[in-house]
Amino acid sequence: MRVHDTFRVPQKTSIFRAAICKTPNAKPVGLREVGWLGRLYSEPQKFKTKERVTTMKTTTNLLLLGAWLLLSQQGAVAEPLFETKDVFIAGLDNVCEYRIPTLVTTGQGTLIAICDARVEKPGDAINNIDLAMKRSLDNGRTWGRMQIIADFSGQNAACDASVLVDDKTDTVWVLYDYIVDEPAQFVQRPRETRNVELHLIQSHDDGQSWSPPRTILPTNQAGSWLALCAAPGRGIQTSDSQLIFPCYTRREKHDHSHLLTSGDGGDTWQLTSDAGPKVNECQVVELLDGSFILNMRSLRGHGCRAVARTEDAGENWQQMVDDSGLPEPMCQASFIRYTDQRAGFGKNRLLFSNPANASQRSNFIIRMSYDEGQTWPVSKVLNTGPSAYSCLTVLKDGTIGVLYENGVSNPYEKLTFVRFNLEWLTEGRDRLVQGN
């Protein structure tokens, strides 16, 4: 997708207005109507002859026309856009707590937001947890009623969802953990005694209805792991149409991050080798050269994200490294591609969001990279207060959306959707125009 932006000019100060291209929430700019500035400098003030008046009007309008053409060709800066809307609030719709946001934009431009609905009490499974969903048809300004898309009896849980869209079939896939109401047998790690299955559901109508769940067992299941878990957030569809969900395995001593891949449209799934130990909730991006970079929640005790790269779709991984430029308090993060030179943009841009505090879940930040995740020169604080899990998406109009956990006294009071543009994120230093 290529995004064409023009600059947005307030109505009172517009020079020309017409429709040569469309900008979200902006008046189109063009050549059909002369605004107040053109009239002001073309009025016959202090001129005695008709010829001098005509000459002045013509000269002024030509200068204004030339200035507008120069600005439009250079892609003049749009106004910063920033909108916010609380989507899931603890206590509403008879749900005690909402957590673990997931967000995606469908091929029709619909926003689908999914999260854990922790019905009776806060806290992870074992607990009565359903998957709740809301849809927005207007770029997140309003949201439809809440729907439950996965629900099991008693204290059985559907949780920790990851979502992707198959652009070839318009199928929306959701992978999640089904955790049964009985402890697993392994007790070497006291907190991780849950019995987990991976479930997969799909929608063919933009999230209006969903299939029954099916259990996912990788065809190459051999290994010493004790449980295979979804990494909450986003999956991807690669340039060669593979479907990929990030995931992780629980083992006797540590967690390990992997990829779960399908080359046949979701019929069968294979588990890649792991990127290393002491990492779990992860997100994946395909780089320009076709390699994958895995950005992982780190349990290595260094107060920052861990990253690893594979050039053969997860068969082998380069050595995992700590990214000190991405501080974290051991928390999930979101990591997606924004623009891609292969799609006609002049720049590659990656986006990242997390609570950027090494000691506590607060100080929620959006970051952007121009060099495929090697450095993060752009950053902007969205919320200095309590904040935690998040999920980013790119809207059909080229703006950016994020759904994130936040609150006043703790991060788990609500899930808020924020929509912003590149001009807001970069304070006008970068913008989306043709070929950029």
Catalytic residues: 281
- Rounded Cα distance, 270 and 314, in Å: 10
SS3 341: helix
Instruction: Estimate to the nearest angstrom the gap between the alpha carbon of 307 and the chain centroid.
Output: 18
Quick one: which of 158, 179, 83, 138 has its CA closest to 403? 83
What count of Cα atoms within 13 Å lies in the side-chain half-sphere of residue 272? 29
Question: What are the strands, taking DSSP E only, across 204-276?
Answer: 214-215, 227-230, 233-234, 236-237, 243-250, 255-262, 270-271
- What lies within 8 Å, CB to CB, of 12 at 6+ separation is 36
- Rounded Cα distance, 234 and 38, in Å: 49
SS3 11: helix
- What lies within 8 Å, CB to CB, of 142 at 6+ separation is 85, 136
Cα–Cα–Cα angle for 404, 410, 415, rounded to 5 degrees: 25
Instruction: Estimate to the nearest angstrom the gap between the alpha carbon of 1 and the chain centroid.
Output: 16
